Structure 1
Amino acid sequence: MRLILFLSLLCLGFRPVFAQDSIEQKMDWLAKTKSASNFFVHFDKNVYTNNEIVYFTGYLIKEGKRKVNNHQLMSVCLIRDLDSTIIIQDKFVMGKGLSFGSITLPDSILTGNYHFIAYTDQVINGTPSAIFNQPITIKTNIDPAFKASLKVLDDTNEISKNHQVLLAVTTKDNRFLPKPIQINYKYGNLSKKTKTDPSGQLLISLPEQSNLTDPSLYVKLKNDKDSSYLNLTLPLKQNKASVKFYPEGGNLVLGLSSNIGWEVKDQQKMPVAVKAFLYENNEVIDTVETSSYGIGKFLLLPKRESIYSIKLIHSGLADSIYYLPKAIEKGFVLNLKSAIVKDTLSLSIKSTGTKNLNFLLHNFRQIFSSIPFDMETNRRMIKIPLDEVPKGLMTLTILDSLNRPLAERMFFAHYSNEEKIITSTDKQIYNQREKVNLKLKLNSDTISIVSIACIQDNRLETKKINDIESYTYLTSELNALPVVLKGTPYKDVNYLEQVLLVKGWRKYTWQDLQATTANDTIYKKDSLQMLGSITKSKKELIKPVTIGAFGDNKIRLINTSDKGKFNFNVDDLILEQGKKSLLFINDKNKFDYKFQINDQFLKMDEKLSRSLVFDNPVLPSTIVNNAELVLKGNEKAIRLKEVVIKGRKDNGIGYRGASGSNACGDYVCRYNILNCRNHPGDPENTQPVAGRSYMTNGISMIYQECRAGLGVDENFLKFNGIHQPKEFYFSDYKDPQEPAFFSTIYWNYGMVLSNKKETELSFYTSDITGKFRIIVQGVTNKDVIYDEHFLEVKTNK
């Protein structure tokens, strides 16, 4: 803990003295300095494929420096991890802390690791005050044009310590390619361009590099117009471990036994389950171990003149001896009976020092309780009621009579693992295209707003899962947490006990507290906007003009300012997601006018893509191939080879083009469904015709005329503006010829639940078989809420 550093400064003569009022004042300053909104976005899953629709709901759970109603827009952009390229971006309306939307992924998107970055329009000192990132994986539904694999060879040269990796490339039917293909590969600071041999193989020799934070080999293969990408995380030969010790309370004290938490990670910050010998001087006194989370605990009674160390029993880890911190002469040792408590905190204190103490219950932003205490004896058992303490992570700090911190421990107050919502289905196993009846009932709170997703279970990678409970109470407060092997972090009490033993408060320290002044609370606040302007003959206007906007079935008129300025954040310019707008001016001299857009969100996207660091722990492997990021055959429809059909009228059915959509973004699939989510970008799509009937969400509707494509000339400005959510497409899939390979078979947002009655919903399974997961999460009038339920889909008999 950083408290150890602080106490070591005390031993060197550094004596900060806090009056009680000054601590409260400084915590208030620190809270204003560090204050940030708690913003969570529920994405329907975290594994997607090209042309797939991503559904999401944003929840502003806790306001920071800006009030909830100040947040009016949510921006969502997708960033590729490999090179920080921004792939797609969109903006959505936010109201009362809620925002809903969806994004269709490009057909050409490359497979690999990405991050969705979501943030609101409120900015503090140049950075969004509410920001959330969601790691995702992109797979493809297109079989690669050729097979490629990387394999680490067993006969690695131990003398040179080089990695020997074999790249092998063949045709789809395992034959030799007609000619060698081009290869570009990168490993650490090594980059090289080469070719395979005539048999399609290449032996790559990679010199071992020290302090390598990313041990992955990245390979790009190009065969004429076809490309493929591979990356293989190589095992490090003598991986250097990171071992840290956390005496409970902050210090080892001579003559007092205490629990010591310890944590082991490898060079890539992955937890390591390991056994070790505990030494006193040169003698083994115990055998200790860490869990699968890389966290362990052991009891130690420090003796004078003794040196304590740990020697790891692990052949793959170098520098295997690590020394514990030196025990101090006098001090306090505290032990919590449990760090996960409901209404009362129970602890024991052992002391060889100060008698007059002060117990401070706080979260480094606010003091909830200050309790004077006299030790009287060297050992005391204490119970502290938590009536004044809110739910969440709290810190108990023991101060001396001069308000100097002596010991500290984090705990979770008012923890409850009771089910806040009961989720059930009419049965557990379903056939393909069978109706699912879902029932939801609140168990305690009077009202809740939730989003609901039913997705194919293998479209959720464990290490990339976020849930609103764990994020609100743990992830947003602590550093990166170990990946929970099963379930969610919040609901695993054993996991929480381990984490809180070694994870001190990472955002706030006593050093920060002491250094904070009133000047640190001064900040600059701003709002990101999407602004437009119009000039005439390259000059600023001197009087307002009226501009027109269309992108759906309506034409809207907007008045500019005297100087031709206007704001896109108005109801007249907000469209359904997926639609694009056109601006025009109806004037006899219209060609003298020119539109300009200043989209401040795009500039923020660029800034965040360069500044954010994504922590992606990786596991070493010995073989990988380019089919691993391809969906299985039973998860995708037969994909027609894409063709480009030049524009023509098609017997009055509609114009058919490469994308099939009109200027409003609408299209009709081969099964007469308007904007069918199973066929975006399908070459068989046609443009809808005004006056004709099409199916949408199981209902027949008459399509109105799209005016966005009428009379477009060079003084029209087409832009991707601000959007309302697009409704999820529901179908009973009665047409047996219509493919239904949906991994998200249900999505709903803004659903209001009440404990007074049960909410009943229904949807249909798709053609995909296997395990599906229903996730319900959102906010209540008192708390956040999360639940999940599983069902299985079997092949029809």
Structure 2
Amino acid sequence: MKLIIRFFSFLFCLQSFAQPISNQEKITKYLNDYFSQDREIIHVQFNKNLFINNEDIAFKGYVLSKNNNIPNSNTANIQLVVYNEEEQIVLKQLLFAQNGLFSGGIHLTEKFKPGKYHFHFYTNWMNNFREDDSFNQTIEIIDKNSPYTFQVNEPNWKTAEITLFPEGGIILNGIVNMIGIKITDCNKVGIEISDGIVLDSKSNEITHFRTNQMGNGAFYLKADLNEKYTIKINNEKLKVTQPLGKISETGLILSAPNNPGRSNLLVILKTNEKGLQSYQNKKFTVLIQQNGSSMQQEVTFNNNKTEQPFYFDKKYLSNGVNTIRVLDEDLNEITERLTYIEEGKNPSTTLDTKIVSNDSITLSGKTDVNKAHLSISVLPEKSMFLNQKKTISGTFYLNAYLEKPQSDTYFYFDPENKTRRQDIELLLLNQNKGKYLWENIKSGPPKISFEFEKGVTINGKVEKELKPNSQNKISLIALKNNLFDQTTIDQNNDFKFEHFFVQDSTVLALQMTNEKNVTQTTKIEARIARNEPRFVLGPSFEKAFCPITKSADNVFNFQPPKAKATELKEVAIKNNFKKEVFTHKDDMSPMARAFKFDGKEYGTVLNFLSSNGYNTGINQTDFSVYIKERRGAYLGESASSPNVYIDNFLLFDFNQLFNLTLDQIDEIYIDQTGSSDTSTTGHGTIKIFMKTGQKNDYFKVKFTTLIVTKGFAQNFTYKTAPLENQDEFNYFGTLGWFPNIEPNDQSDYQIKIPKNQQKEIQVVIEGFTNDGQLISEVKKVPIGGIF
């Protein structure tokens, strides 16, 4: 009995000495838990935003770790889904990212009809979180066969809408309130005005306001509960009268007059005389945070003052948008406010003309940071379609923390915009809330249900029954990519290659070997296993909610293509005919057609056969290569296939021909009569003889081949499209796209562009460094004195 009493006495002592968890500790734990898993965010630079339907669309992607603010080296699989204006999927690609970088593009074809297209980039890992860190970009494709009408750079004044954003979400009686105002048209395009006023019930002007070109502004008002206020705009283009709205008897207002020149951020918690009585002896916590980084201060109104000011040292705050929250004693959010921190100098680049030759210009660039990764788009001086709206700084510093991302962020980072810091603060004032909701943060850490994808998986099964404890293995070889891997076979005859990085259309060979590495003959089934994950939150389409105004007086007519003809004044005909010697002609029937190749030919063997009497392609059911007699094409699937030989070895698997190119071939013989072949199978005979040194042993062994169809997009090589005249080029052309610029140890780099009668060029430079510094500039580089 004494033992029991002593035990409970011990528990009581422990309880008496236990310290309750403070609110500050709870807040810190909420933040640490919610942001414990690293999040990635994507920015993509396009070479421009409008394309003719015979051009290449090119892009470069950057992936940043939000927790560490450096390139995310863990990211590998980037999903791209392209939608048309009807929000139908027209294209999917899997893009390969390495060290936080990826690039790609699309060669436009007739598949892409004129109109707007939405490009959506995301990762499977992003699906674990409630906040959208994917990237959306809308581009437009136009048809050269139709006139192009230029868009008017004017908002739709008739649909102007005014929205108010008072600090703290309320207009408080008896004190001076700062009220944000935003004016936009039906397509959310900002409207700039300079003559807005606020009137009282007697039509006296109380205050006035203006908005910037993004439609953001603010004004101060000492509100009177017994007064009715009206907002009025009256000019040539806009006439609006709107009541101010409800005035609250009491409440809390959070103000953050951010002075960029000061090292401390001033934050003021305000109330009125009535609120002062209500909030006596109540404790509030003011929290400022970005992701898991935070600072806190406890506030009370016990000094009988309606304004409680305090300071946060900016050197401890993260660059970009920070959220300031006011929490009550139960850690419920009362109000929030966004502010912007920018400490340190933004990296910059220089770019000048270095060398001018007859047909090209070499530009020399230099960065003021080390280990930078850049992408550069160069457009003509008069180009109307420079993609300077979405910038890497805007994506990672602004949109990463806004509930509704801004489609045009360059305005806020343009070094020529002398008021850009004030413009950022006006933007943040005119937000209802940030991307990260406090209730979500309090609810606990995200449930991780989606894996961090790296590469693709190749699953398969062997048909041959294996002995217990068999040491047989499956070898995987990419015939033309120098790839080799091996894996074991389990007790169910299954095998798997995980995290395999392979591009679409790659031909893979699979064969089974025993413990002595001797090839074993067996049937092997294999496939690419990839889920092609959808984005749980869905893409955020940039829509036009009302017709975009275009100018009937500003129409561009493309010139029809010129017929290419050459006038021959003098032609000297010289007989250089050299009789070709066919090495294997005696092996064939006289009915066979013989073809000799000198190693300079381009194209594939399958395309060559398509031009010489056969239909070739890939079956959509099993993704195998087929070769069928064209004369029997009306028979469909039952059309006959020829016997195909490589160096006199009969092929049982036409997949081996998929990547075989003509520069590897010495001779090809085609006998559609079949008289060159003693075999009774097949219809016709095709014999292919490799060049000396091109013979490969893999044609002589029995293995299974697989053509990759769900792998990474193939490497993209950008090419400029031809245009008919200089005017077309000046408005719609591209001088150069350089997605992979990496300055040397001295931070220097060079690019070369065609001359093309330009006196000045427009250059867009985007990028980041290994330590997460962002580079985003638009430059106009003179090429004067050259012409």
TM-score range, shorter chain: 0.5 to 0.7
Q: Tell me which amino acid in the other structure corresponds to 1:582.
A: V
CA contact (8 A) 1:277 1:288 kept: yes
CA contact (8 A) 2:268 2:308 kept: yes
1:254 aligns with 2:173: yes
Matches within 5 A, 1:549-568: 549-550=477-478, 552=480, 554=482, 556=484, 558-559=486-487, 561-562=489-490, 563-567=493-497
1:747 aligns with 2:738: yes
Once the two structures are aligned, what percentage of the paired residues are identical? 15
Q: CA deviation at 1:796?
A: 7.8
Corresponding residue for residue 220 of structure 2? 299
Mapped partners of 2:230, 2:396: distance in 1: 37
- Give CA deviations for 1:351-389 in whole Å, capped at 9, x if unaligned: 432467656242264463223456644456655422322
CA contact (8 A) 1:75 1:92 kept: yes
Matches within 5 A, 1:606-755: 607-608=534-535, 611-617=538-544, 620-621=547-548, 652=597, 661-662=603-604, 689-690=663-664, 716-720=705-709, 722=711, 726=715, 743-749=734-740, 751-752=742-743
CA contact (8 A) 1:547 1:560 kept: no
Matches within 5 A, 1:384-399: 384-398=312-326
Show structure 2 runs of 5+ residues with no match: 1-20, 513-518, 566-592, 609-659, 667-690, 723-727
Q: CA deviation at 1:277?
A: 4.9
2:26 counterpart SS class = helix
Mapped partners of 1:277, 1:298: distance in 2: 9
Q: Tell me which amino acid in the other structure corresponds to 1:303.
A: D
Q: Tell me which amino acid in the other structure corresponds to 1:788.
A: V
Matches within 5 A, 1:764-783: 764-765=753-754, 767=756, 769=758, 771-783=761-773
Corresponding residue for residue 425 of structure 1? 352
Corresponding residue for residue 343 of structure 1? 263
Q: 1:76 aligns with which of 76, 80, 83?
A: 80
Q: CA deviation at 1:473?
A: 0.5
Q: 1:20 aligns with which of 1, 17, 24?
A: 24
Structure 1 stretch displaced more, 466-475 or 68-77: 68-77
Corresponding residue for residue 476 of structure 1? 400
Corresponding residue for residue 203 of structure 1? none
1:45 aligns with 2:65: no
Structure 1 residues 538, 504: closer, same or farther in 2, change over 3 A?
farther
Matches within 5 A, 1:264-663: 264-273=183-192, 276-281=196-201, 283-286=203-206, 287-311=208-232, 313=234, 321-333=241-253, 335-338=255-258, 340=260, 343-346=263-266, 351-352=271-272, 353=276, 354=279, 360-363=286-289, 365-366=291-292, 368-373=294-299, 376=303, 377-378=305-306, 383-398=311-326, 408-416=336-344, 418-426=345-353, 433-442=359-368, 445-456=369-380, 461=385, 465-478=389-402, 479-481=404-406, 483=408, 488=413, 492-513=420-441, 516-518=442-444, 521-528=446-453, 530-535=456-461, 546=474, 549-550=477-478, 552=480, 554=482, 556=484, 558-559=486-487, 561-562=489-490, 563-567=493-497, 569-570=499-500, 574=502, 580-585=505-510, 593-601=524-532, 604=533, 607-608=534-535, 611-617=538-544, 620-621=547-548, 652=597, 661-662=603-604
Q: CA deviation at 1:599?
A: 2.9
CA radius of gyration, larger in:
2
Mapped partners of 1:743, 1:763: distance in 2: 13
Structure 1 stretch displaced more, 58-67 or 279-288: 58-67
Q: CA deviation at 1:259?
A: 1.7
CA contact (8 A) 2:64 2:100 kept: yes
Q: CA deviation at 1:246?
A: 1.4
2:425 counterpart SS class = helix
Mapped partners of 2:450, 2:710: distance in 1: 24
Mapped partners of 2:219, 2:89: distance in 1: 46
CA contact (8 A) 2:71 2:99 kept: no
Matches within 5 A, 1:101-250: 101-106=104-109, 108-120=111-123, 122=125, 124-125=127-128, 131-140=134-143, 143-144=144-145, 239=159, 241-250=160-169
Q: CA deviation at 1:257?
A: 1.3
- Give CA deviations for 1:263-303 in whole Å, capped at 9, x if unaligned: 12333333334555534336353554433322221221111
Structure 1 residues 652, 504: closer, same or farther in 2, change over 3 A?
same
CA contact (8 A) 2:155 2:190 kept: no
Structure 1 residues 276, 661: closer, same or farther in 2, change over 3 A?
farther
Structure 1 residues 504, 782: closer, same or farther in 2, change over 3 A?
same
Structure 1 residues 510, 661: closer, same or farther in 2, change over 3 A?
same
CA contact (8 A) 2:323 2:434 kept: no
CA contact (8 A) 1:42 1:467 kept: yes
Q: CA deviation at 1:260?
A: 0.8
Mapped partners of 1:765, 1:273: distance in 2: 39
2:451 counterpart SS class = strand
CA contact (8 A) 2:383 2:733 kept: no
CA contact (8 A) 2:157 2:185 kept: no
1:393 counterpart SS class = strand
1:91 counterpart SS class = strand
Structure 1 residues 238, 128: closer, same or farther in 2, change over 3 A?
closer
Q: Tell me which amino acid in the other structure corresponds to 1:362.
A: I
Mapped partners of 2:325, 2:367: distance in 1: 40
Q: Tell me which amino acid in the other structure corresponds to 1:388.
A: Y
Q: CA deviation at 1:487?
A: 7.3
1:113 counterpart SS class = strand
Q: CA deviation at 1:137?
A: 2.2
CA contact (8 A) 1:20 1:403 kept: no
CA contact (8 A) 2:128 2:449 kept: yes
Corresponding residue for residue 763 of structure 1? 752
- Give CA deviations for 1:116-163 in whole Å, capped at 9, x if unaligned: 2223353644999963223222235xx32xx5799xxxxxxxxxxxxx
Mapped partners of 1:322, 1:586: distance in 2: 76
1:74 counterpart SS class = strand
Q: Tell me which amino acid in the other structure corresponds to 1:269.
A: K
Structure 1 residues 335, 106: closer, same or farther in 2, change over 3 A?
same
CA contact (8 A) 1:234 1:621 kept: no
TM-score norm. by structure 2 comes to 0.65
Mapped partners of 1:43, 1:116: distance in 2: 10
1:85 aligns with 2:89: yes
Mapped partners of 2:324, 2:151: distance in 1: 46
Mapped partners of 1:456, 1:705: distance in 2: 46
Structure 1 stretch displaced more, 53-62 or 451-460: 451-460
Mapped partners of 1:718, 1:85: distance in 2: 24
CA contact (8 A) 2:373 2:768 kept: yes
CA contact (8 A) 1:340 1:412 kept: no
Mapped partners of 1:639, 1:547: distance in 2: 54
1:521 counterpart SS class = coil
TM-score norm. by structure 1 comes to 0.64
2:231 counterpart SS class = strand
1:270 counterpart SS class = coil
Q: CA deviation at 1:91?
A: 2.9
CA contact (8 A) 2:173 2:224 kept: yes
Corresponding residue for residue 57 of structure 1? 60
Q: Tell me which amino acid in the other structure corresponds to 1:570.
A: F
